[in-house]
């Protein structure tokens, strides 16, 4: 097995990720900065769409933008799994 082998690389990455999470006692705290940054991006996009909105309105729009984004990711995952199944069947 070569160190460039995708399976070896994937396993090494998985080992590193599991070790990192094992060393993390507060996983919510560890990911909080990333979640806060994502939330700020959704609020900023909401502000661009509705510059005169109140903070409550912006929060509502940002929440819908976040949900739409997550569903978009889910849709891409469904398509990728279908393509993988189709390639495997061929």
Domain housing 70: 6-89
pLDDT at 3: 77
Residue 78 in domain: yes
Global confidence as pTM: 0.72
User: Residue 38: which of 66, 77, 76, 74 has the closest Cα?
Assistant: 66
Residue 12 in domain: yes
The 3-state DSSP composition of the chain as helix, strand, coil percent (nearest 5) reads 85, 0, 15
Q: Model confidence over 19-76: pLDDT tens digits?
A: 999 999 999 999 999 999 999 999 999 999 999 999 999 999 999 999 999 999 999 9
Q: Note the residue count of the chain.
A: 90
Residue 61 in domain: yes
Residue 1 in domain: no
CA 43 – CA 66 distance, rounded (Å): 9
Residue 16 in domain: yes
Q: Report the domain count for the chain.
A: 1
CA 65 – CA 45 distance, rounded (Å): 8
Residue 80 in domain: yes
């Amino acid at each position: 097995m070569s160190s460039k082998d995708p399976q070896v690389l994937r396993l090494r990455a998985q080992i590193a990720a599991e070790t990192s999470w094992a060393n993390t006692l507060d996983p919510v705290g560890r990911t909080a900065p990333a979640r806060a940054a994502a939330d700020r991006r959704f609020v900023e996009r909401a502000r661009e769409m509705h510059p005169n909105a109140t903070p409550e309105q912006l929060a509502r729009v940002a929440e819908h933008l976040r949900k739409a984004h997550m569903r978009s990711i889910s849709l891409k995952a469904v398509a990728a799994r279908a393509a993988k199944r189709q390639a495997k069947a061929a």
